[in-house]
Structures are given as C-alpha cells and as structure tokens.
Amino acid sequence: MANTDNLTGVRNSGLAIADPLIGSTTQILEVTGQGEISVATTLTDVELGIKVQGKTATEVQEQVAQRSTAVVDVLQKLGAQELQTTSIQLNPVYSFENGTQTLTGFEGLNTLQFELPTNQSGAAIDKAIQAGANVIQNISFTASDEVLQQARLQVLSEAVKDAKAQAQAVFSTLQLTPGQIIDIDINSDDNPRPSPLVSNLTADRVSATASTTTIIGSPQTIEASVSLDIGYSPNSAGTLASATDNLIGVRNPGIAIADPLIGSTAQILEVTGKGEVSVATTLTDVELGIKVQGKTATEVQEQVAQRSTAVVDVLQKLGAKELQTISIQLNPVYSFENGTQTLTGFEGLNTLQFELPTNQSGAAIDKAIQAGANVIQNISFTASDEVLQQARLQVLSEAVKDAKAQAQAVFSTLQLTPGQIIDIDINSNDNPSPSPLVSNLITDRVSTTPIIGGSQTIKASVSLDIGYSPISAVILDLPLNGLQQFA
C-alpha cells in the first residue's frame, strides 16, 4: 500500500474487487501520467555527399571515385565511427525544349554517413568538404546509449509521479479515499532523434575557411506514459462522503452496485466536466538565422561560418538557454531560361534556437542581429515547467467541479438522489505553446525590440459515472410532447 499512501496522505486497508459475499464492487479511477526528460546530446550523425556533373558517365564516375576516396581517407584519419556508404547514384541529365528531350550530360552522387562527438563534427565537415565533399544531406544529434537508458528509467518514474499527482487532485476535490493500485500499464514511446538538419551544397568545392563551422547539438527528448487504475471503496466515500452530498445538498444512503443478494442494480449518470486555466508566460523561444548570398559556395560558407560564430558568442554571453543549431543550409541558386538551368550563385542559411526570459529576449535579439543574424524565423512563449505543472493539477480540480455542477443540475431537475461515484476517467489534453510569432528580417539592423509574451492555456476533462437508485427516485410524470403512442 505504500504506492497509494501518498495520494491522500492516509494509509488505507486493501480493497476486495467484486466480492459476491457482500455485493460490493470496487470503484476505479483511471489516470495516465506523462513523463518527459531532455538529455544533452554528445554525438552527431552526418551524411555527406560527393556530387559531380559532366558530359559522359565515365568522366563523372571517375571524378566521384577520386573525390570519394579522398573524403573517406580524411574521415578515417579523424576517427569517424560508423563510417559507411549509404547511396550511390549515376543518372543522365536532360534539357527540354519545344517538347523535345535532349541528353546533356550525367550526374553522379555518392553519399557517406559517419558519427563523431559533436564538438568535433564541425571541423570534420569542413575538412571533408576541403577533400571533395560538396553535399551535406543530413545532420542529427543523439545522446550515448548509457545516457538514453538511464533517461528511459527516469522518465518512467516521472510519469508515475504525474499520475499520482493527478489522482490526488481528483480524490481531494471529490473527498474520496484511494485504495489499492489495481492495474499498471507502461507505455514507453519511441524516442526519435531530433529533426535532422538538412543542407545541400552542390557544384562547387569549399576550400579552407577562416572559421570552423559552428554546430551546437540539440537536446534529445525521452517520453513515456504510465496508466494506473486506482481503486476506491464505496464505504470510504460514506456514500459519496460529501463528494456527492454537495450535488444536491443532502446526505443520502449508500447504493449497492449490482448487488446479487437483493437483485437491484444502480442506474448511472455519465458526465464529463471540463477545466481550462490560463497562465502568464515568462519565457521566450527564439529562432534566429544567418542568411548569406554570394557567387561561390566558398564565399558564402565563409561568411555564414564567421557570422554564426559571432552570434553564438553573443548569445552565450547573454546566458541564453537551450542554445542549439536547428538548421544548416547551403544551396545553389539557379536561373531558368529557354528550358535551360544555369547556376548563378549560392545561398547559405544557418539557424539557431535559444530561450531567455521574455523581459530579456528583445535586447538579445537586437544584439544577435548586430553580431550578424539577419533572419528572425520564429518566436513563441511558454510558462515555466513549475507553473505548467501547478496549472495542470488546478485544471483537473476545475474539471471535477464542473462535472459535479452538471450532475447537480440534472439530479435536482429530475428529483433523483445520487449514489456512489462508480468510475472516474481523467483526460488530460496536450497543452501546446501559444501560436508562434513569425517574422522575416533580412539584411537590416533594428533598434530595441519590445516583446510582450502571451498567455498559455491548459485544458483537461474528467468523466464521472455516478450511480443513482431507481427506488430513491419518484416516478416521473414526463410529457410526451405531442408524440403518438403506438399499440
């Protein structure tokens, strides 16, 4: 019983389930607790490609082979783990004019995948590009196997604590005493890696740059849920012990549910109450980008790397939390004329995400832009974890009160006497952050930016099955509202 003692702070005796000798049936509260833990990632998985275009398939394949060999040698010397070929492609290239398809050449692409500690991955990418790689297809982050296993166990414990806290809020509001935990279901979710960072760098080799590409690994989120069926005794409620007395303001005798000795069966009212609480947000999540255009990939990559490093330095000095790289892009820019595609330059974009108190976020954005950022991609607001957890428990209490008020209105109108609460279901809704504020600011500096956070709404619903006796109710004289009775 130690697992349920903390639900109400009272030690309770065990409950018999569906005991045919006394005709009583244990009532059940069904509740699901959620657990979520973010762990720091330390490893980076990278997919690099070598893309070549030429007039003949032989010419293309020779260049791809030479450059692939050079890239593999560099990565092996750097100690890259899990190094493997993930794709080999060689395709014809056509032009289309006046409805006619004409072969103009061939394009080859070899893709390699490898893993390195995140603090080494930026330099490894730069050296691989110097050796001949010219496509960054995918970057993703992960924690070590040991850290992930420890987090999976910890998140289950958090989910159980959340389920107990929700149950306590409902039992307290209904003034019911919990009994045994009758059933436990563990629902561990799959834990995908963070969304990959996608980049495409083509048709130009990148030589050594003045700055190493800055890569900051994003945290990995581990999630799980645990469902508990917690019994509560009809006797412990004293025939709803004041939990249902308040429905009509009268204390009523208990009702046996499906009692085989007397042959009576309680009727059931099903009611769902809803709760909604708005809390003030105090934190701001910001996504800033560094976008550069130029004639060559080398020129663009150098400028993006330099400005990204400067922006990261500024944000770190400002104490930005959850600072991470969420996107790396370097793409060719083409013009299209007379059915022909012509390379005209390159565009690079690195995107960083961070969190700060809302009253500091405006100044932080201004300083980051002064350091080199020139795209504001996304801004959203959230309350602290402590405030959100308190609101989740408060909204459950509001949902129970709403269900009781609805039941009171129905029982009072029908002149029925409520009995025991037979079943309780807690339905906590997901609580997304407020809709983000979207902005695109390019190649311009701005003065101090005022930012005012919005509110965050927490919702939940609680369903109650409340028994009532047909004997306790008067015979109702309900009008037929003009409906015909048929023999």
pLDDT along the chain (487 residues), means of 10: 41 35 63 88 87 87 90 94 90 81 85 90 83 81 87 89 90 88 78 45 40 75 88 54 38 36 62 90 91 82 87 93 83 72 77 91 91 90 89 91 90 85 80 50 51 84 84 44 37
- In CATH, which superfamily holds the domain spanning 283-382? Protein of unknown function (DUF541), domain 2 (3.30.70.2970)
What distance lies between CA 128 and its chain's CA centroid? 34
Q: What is the pTM of this model?
A: 0.62
Q: Which two three-digit tokens encode residue 143?
A: 């924690």
Residue 189, pLDDT score:
59
Residue 327, pLDDT score:
78
What 3 state SS string does the chain have?
Answer: CHHHHHHHCCCCCCCCCCECCCCECCEEEEEEEEEEEEECCCEEEEEEEEEEEECCHHHHHHHHHHHHHHHHHHHHHCCCEEEEEEEEEEEEEEEEECCEEEEEEEEEEEEEEEEEEHHHHHHHHHHHHHHCCCEEEEEEEECCHHHHHHHHHHHHHHHHHHHHHHHHHHHHHHCCCEEEEEEEEEEECCCCCCCCECCCCCCCCCCCCCCCCCCCCCCEEEEEEEEEEEEECCHHHCCCCCCCHHHHCCCCCCCCCCCCCCCCCCEEEEEEEEEEEEEECCEEEEEEEEEEEECCHHHHHHHHHHHHHHHHHHHHHCCCEEEEEEEEEEEEEEEEECCEEEEEEEEEEEEEEEEEEHHHHHHHHHHHHHHCCCEEEEEEEECCHHHHHHHHHHHHHHHHHHHHHHHHHHHHHHCCCEEEEEEEEEEECCCCCCCCECCCCCCCCCCCCCCCCCEEEEEEEEEEEEEECCCCCCCCCCCCCCCCCCC
Residue 265, pLDDT score:
53
CATH architecture entry for 43-142: 2-Layer Sandwich (3.30)
Q: Write out the residue limits of the CATH 3.30.70.2970 domain(s) in the chain.
A: 43-142, 283-382
Q: Which two three-digit tokens encode residue 173?
A: 């509001």
The residue behind tokens 């101090």 is 448
Residue 338, pLDDT score:
67
Residue 25 CA to residue 258 CA, distance in Å, equals: 8
**Contact 403/466 with Cβ under 8 angstroms?**
no
